[in-house]
Amino acid sequence: MSPQLPEIREIWVYLSGSPLLALTLTLAAWELGTLAYEKSGRNPLVNPVAIAVAAVAATIVAIGMPYATYFEGAQFVHFLLGTATVALAVPIHRGLDALRGRVVPLVAALLGGGTVSIATALGAARLFGVDAPLQQGLWAKSVTAPIAMGVAERIGASPTLTAVYAVVTGVLGAALGRFVLDAVGCRAWWQRGAAIGIAAHGIGTSRAFNVHPEAGAWASLAMGLHGVIGAVLIPLVLGR
């Protein structure tokens, strides 16, 4: 047995540093999260993204893989974020006809929702004494992750930290948004979808599509428009 141990150790060292391991781990974690979500009857509290993030984090800690090594291996998934950003033009184009008679309330929701999101996050951070560099990433937390990272670079915030804020915001919005909307008596699918798209971007939009097609369509439209508005206005407000 002992002569074989060094060989096994050498194989593991090679595999743990292989980009393929990180990519396989990412895809397997997503499949695990999706399976748990389906088995739960699509319970909003059993969010596949949250499960996948927890699974990846626990695994790379357990095997001692540095985050830089993991990120290098999972770069292909990161690359697809750019494609996803460009693809936001599709739901915006498809939803233009549905905007008739609803432009004013949607624009008001976009501006109001974005402003409240930033104000509450920064207000809470300052109340609890969070360091200024950590606060910067909160400006774009409700904008979809690919755009949020670009905004972060523009305003001098950490793109990685901003992405973490965006993912956490999306997971919480997807899990709890339904209960909040029920509590305030919001029943129309287009209104529920738009609210989720503004507050919880892509993760919330995915949840909206699982609930009702109209909600999903409006969530994707609101998410896309919110991303465009956020990318333009946030740097202007900060003078960057």
Question: Residue 191 has what pLDDT?
Answer: 92
User: Which residue matches tokens 């909160």?
Assistant: 138
* Higher-scoring residue by pLDDT: 94, 14: 94
Q: Which residue has the higher pLDDT, 48 or 10?
A: 48
Assess whether 108 and 23 both reside in one domain: no
Please report whether residue 113 resides in a domain: yes
51 plus 164 within the same structural domain: no
Residue after which a domain boundary falls, among 58, 73, 88: 73
Instruction: Note whether 64 and 101 are same-domain residues.
Output: no
Residue at a domain's end among 12, 38, 73:
73
Residue 199 and residue 9: Cα distance in Å, rounded?
Answer: 47
On whether residue 65 sits in a domain, the answer given is yes
User: Same domain, yes or no, for 20 and 68?
Assistant: yes
Residue 78 lies in a domain: no
**66, 76, 113, 164 from 120: Cα distances, Å:** 34, 34, 11, 17
Give the pLDDT score at 144: 86
Question: Number of structural domains, the chain?
Answer: 2
For 86, the token pair is 């460009």
Residues 104 and 56 in one domain: no
Using CA atoms, how far apart are residues 46 and 179, in angstroms rounded to an integer? 14
Residue 155 and residue 189 in one domain: yes
Q: 169 and 213, same structural domain?
A: yes
Is residue 88 included in any domain, yes or no?
A: no
The model's confidence at residue 81, banded by pLDDT at 50, 70 and 90, is confident
- Residue 205 counted as domain residue: yes
For residue 16, pLDDT over 60 is answered with no
How many Å apart are CA 29 and CA 32, to the nearest integer? 5
Cβ contact 198:229 at 8 Å: no
| pLDDT for 122 beyond 50 | yes
Whether residue 218 sits in one domain with residue 136:
yes
| Residue-number span of the structural domain to which 12 is assigned | 1-73
Residue 84 located in a structural domain: no
7 and 123 in a single domain? The answer is no
Same domain, 115 and 4: no
- Does residue 166 contact residue 201 with C-beta atoms inside 8 Å? yes
Residues 127 and 59 in one domain: no
**Which of 14, 41, 73 is the last residue before a domain boundary?**
73
Same-domain status, 22 and 108: no
The alpha carbon of 74 is separated from its chain's Cα centroid by a whole number of angstroms, namely: 16
User: Does residue 2 sit within a domain?
Assistant: yes
The answer to whether position 198 is within a domain reads: yes
Model's pTM, two decimal places?
0.80
